[in-house]
Chains A and B, each alone.
Chain A
Amino acid sequence: MALKTSVAGQTWSFADLRTLLAKASPERSGDHLAEIAATSALERVAAQHCLADMPLKVFAGLELMPEVDDWVSDLIARQLDEVAFRRISSLTVGELREHLLAAEPEELERLTYALTPEMVAAVSKLMRNQDLIAIAARRKVVKKFRSTIGLPGRLSARNQPNDPTDDSFGIAASLVDGLVMGSGDAVLGVNPATDSVEDYTRVCRILDDVRSRYEIATQTCCLGHVTTAIEAIEAGAPVDLVFQSIAGSAKANRSFGVSLEILHEAEEAAKGLKRGTIGADCFYFETGQGTELSAEAHHGVDQQTMECRTYAIARAFDCLLVNTVVGFIGPEYLFDGRQIIRAGLEDHFCGKLMGLPMGVDVCYTNHAEADQNDMDVLLTLLAAAGVNFVITVPGADDIMLNYQSLSHHDLAYARETMGLKPAPEFLDWMMRQGMMDETGMLTPAPQALADAIDGVEKLLEAS
């Protein structure tokens, strides 16, 4: 079909669907770096007009990059629910936007496998930030292991006690700092400094010791490579969740050392341990726009569409947690706070629409044009959009990965200001420890603790 439209007295034509999708994308530096972005504001809007009139039928069974033999594309084709799709097959992309805006939660859930990643990416490109928030807020995805993540009125967090050398004490200290602030109901999760089975196992044991000794209603994860996890499980490591970074093309996943088979093997190994008490959702995935381009594996597809293709992999597994590490990749992909905020909302919306328990690492690096105020905005918008979880570190400073994520304080701010509670099982635990009241407010006890720590520090400074 002809990819042509007439806008502002000019005729605009687009070589193929991936070109159209790229040109219709809200502006971001990564698409410029890939030299596929619209070259003017008018061309972008023209592409959006053209995209709005595209029938969804064009996307079903679509080969976005026909010259590439790619297992992610094959998986996407296998996932399409033809019966569910038939109900919406007469819609255009523009009409799908209106359908989603009007849809009740049940309808959004029914559409999960009627929509391919490319359809979801396409419709998101026609949406304002407000639309991304409004629709996502109605699409709840609830998952369970030892706690229930994603319920209405809840905001969970990964407590991320990273340490530059995986020092046991350093990890424990940061872990406790977050627990007293209510962070950790999504997972207690460490990015290890090395990828050895020995360190992986030691980190698992630290986290599991603290969790089991204090009977914390949550799960733990060492974010090593799946192959490391499989070896560690075989050697008896206490593994709750297995983790992997994934991307939207076979080539990009190969650069991560990932295949569909190895992911299935990891899921099976983790499930075999039967460590979940109220559920068995045991995979944790991280993603992020720009991953494919940085691996030179984007095949001319824009970074947001590639991100949606990644979600097709995640939804082939029983995952408890999926998050985009949205501002981590740097300004060559998402230049400033505005682009990071937009991408965070897109990723959350697209993931939820595709049925994923979506969280966001609200974050930035020092060479991006962003600051704490931008993170406040993104956190607040995501809380309004019903994000399943965010990631928090002491004082917003991850001393191992050298970037800024949210602080434990930011989590407390969002919960208190927007009336959101932690996961119910974790809230019970916090209340038993006297650290939170039944509304999810932090109690004065941790304040006293913090004062004591503060006082000790002042004494040291004075002496």
Chain B
Amino acid sequence: MSDSEKTDDALLPALVSSPDMLTRLKDRTDARIALGRARSGLPTRPNLKFELDHAMARDAVYSELDVEGLKASFKSLGFEPIVVKSQTGDRTNYLARPDLGKLLDVDDRHELETEAGGELVILIADGLSATAVNLNAAATVEALKTVCDVGMSLVIATGARVALGDKVAVALSSENVLVFIGERPGLSAADSLGAYFTHKPREDTADSERFCVSNIRDGGLKPQDAARKIADLIRKAVDRGYSGVTKRDGPKQIED
């Protein structure tokens, strides 16, 4: 029986009255259901579990890139990493001013302009979870090297938003940029890495012009599987001459 037909059964009384169904109820959703209650209050254990998950997410937002460790990892993969920063300054300003996280520090931009990026620039960016990058970026890049045979260079950036990759690629005169960036931490996972690929990036690339692979982490999309997906998307973009979607599916065009 497919999911779409299940509500034809008398679902509610079964869920409410039968312990068998209650088990299945809790097993088959990640939602925090059936927490119990103390009068109207949340029992201590689920309350602390929530606090734990939120604390991990908060710490991930304020985590810092392990720049030295990452440099060493990428050197061992044959890269000569360049380290740059955005114009945000501290973390508080990073959160309040996403516009500045998309702009390269002026000195760093000048330095990049003296370098050559090769066919594909990989930007390793902290984003909203440096933890995700520290944990997953090296493994994903290593896996990518085995399935994607193009000339790559690598830049590490702090205070970065996705669109910083466009500026890095333009400064390095590269036709392709792949940004690995820490995703906004959720309560269930604070270590998800996102990958955004842009073919022929410009200063004003729209988000719809990128391919995205998300939830890269051990408990989500494994680095090896993510690498294969990314390699396929890169080939697709280069073959057809653009990344992202041509036209948005969805609501009809509205005139006003």
Contact of A412 among B37, B97, B251 (CB under 8 A): B37
Contact of B12 among A174, A210, A257, A402 (CB under 8 A): A210
Residues of A within 8 A of B6 (CB): 168-169, 172
Residues of B within 8 A of A170 (CB): 28-31
Contact of A169 among B3, B61, B254 (CB under 8 A): B3
Q: Mask for A23-35, Cβ within 8 A of B = 1, else 0?
A: 0000001001100
Contact of B95 among A259, A331, A407 (CB under 8 A): A331
Contact of B36 among A33, A205, A416, A454 (CB under 8 A): A454
Q: Interface size class for chain B?
A: 35 or more
- Measured CB to CB, the nearest residue on chain A to B30 is A399
Whether B32 pairs with A395 at a CB distance below 8 angstroms is yes
Residues of B within 8 A of A164 (CB): 30
List A139-197 residues whose CB lies under 8 Å from chain B.
161, 163-164, 167-170, 172-174, 176-177, 180-181, 195
Residues of A within 8 A of B52 (CB): none
Residues of B within 8 A of A409 (CB): 35, 37, 40-42
Residues of B within 8 A of A415 (CB): 40
Residues of B within 8 A of A210 (CB): 7, 11-12
Query: Is B57 on the interface with A (CB-CB < 8 A)?
Result: yes
Query: Is B165 on the interface with A (CB-CB < 8 A)?
Result: no
Pick from A94-102, A420-428, A442-450 the stretch touching chain B.
A442-450
Pick from B76-84, B104-112, B146-154, B181-189 the stretch touching chain A.
B181-189
Q: Mask for B235-256, Cβ within 8 A of A = 1, else 0?
A: 0000000000000001111111
Whether B254 pairs with A254 at a CB distance below 8 angstroms is yes
Whether B8 pairs with A447 at a CB distance below 8 angstroms is no
- Measured CB to CB, the nearest residue on chain B to A161 is B31
Residues of A within 8 A of B40 (CB): 409, 412-413, 415-416, 442
| Nearest-Cβ distance from residue B4 to partner chain A, whole angstroms | 5
Residue with the greatest number of chain B CB neighbours at <10 A, chosen from A163, A167, A335, A454: A454
Query: Known: A259-B254, A393-B31. Contact between A399 and B26, CB under 8 A?
Result: no
Query: Known: A227-B251, A452-B22. Contact between A332 and B32, CB under 8 A?
Result: no
Query: Is A432 on the interface with B (CB-CB < 8 A)?
Result: no
- Measured CB to CB, the nearest residue on chain A to B40 is A412
| Nearest-Cβ distance from residue B205 to partner chain A, whole angstroms | 15
Residues of A within 8 A of B3 (CB): 167-169
Q: Mask for B113-138, Cβ within 8 A of A = 1, else 0?
A: 00000000000000010000000000
Residues of A within 8 A of B35 (CB): 394-395, 409, 450, 454
Query: Is A268 on the interface with B (CB-CB < 8 A)?
Result: no
Whether A399 pairs with B31 at a CB distance below 8 angstroms is yes
Whether B186 pairs with A402 at a CB distance below 8 angstroms is yes
Whether B37 pairs with A447 at a CB distance below 8 angstroms is yes
Q: Mask for B6-28, Cβ within 8 A of A = 1, else 0?
A: 11101110011001001111111
Give the complex CA separation of A366 and B24 in angstroms. Answer: 30
Instruction: List chain A positions with a Cβ less than 8 A from chain B.
Output: 29, 32-33, 71, 161, 163-164, 167-170, 172-174, 176-177, 180-181, 195, 202, 205-206, 209-210, 213-214, 225, 227-228, 250, 253-254, 256-259, 262, 331-332, 335, 365-367, 371-372, 393-397, 399, 402, 404, 407, 409, 412-413, 415-416, 442, 446-447, 449-454, 456-457, 460
Which 5 pairs show the lowest CB-CB distances between chains A and B?
Answer: A395-B32, A257-B251, A453-B34, A412-B40, A177-B33
Please, could you name 21 A-B residue pairs with CB atoms under 8 Å apart, sorted by A? A170-B28, A173-B25, A176-B12, A176-B16, A176-B33, A225-B250, A331-B96, A332-B95, A335-B96, A367-B185, A371-B54, A372-B54, A394-B31, A395-B42, A396-B50, A399-B188, A402-B187, A404-B187, A446-B37, A457-B23, A460-B23
Additional A-B contact list (17), CB under 8 Å, known A399-B31, A456-B23: A161-B31, A168-B7, A172-B7, A173-B29, A209-B7, A257-B250, A257-B251, A366-B61, A393-B31, A394-B33, A397-B50, A409-B35, A409-B41, A447-B37, A452-B19, A453-B25, A456-B26
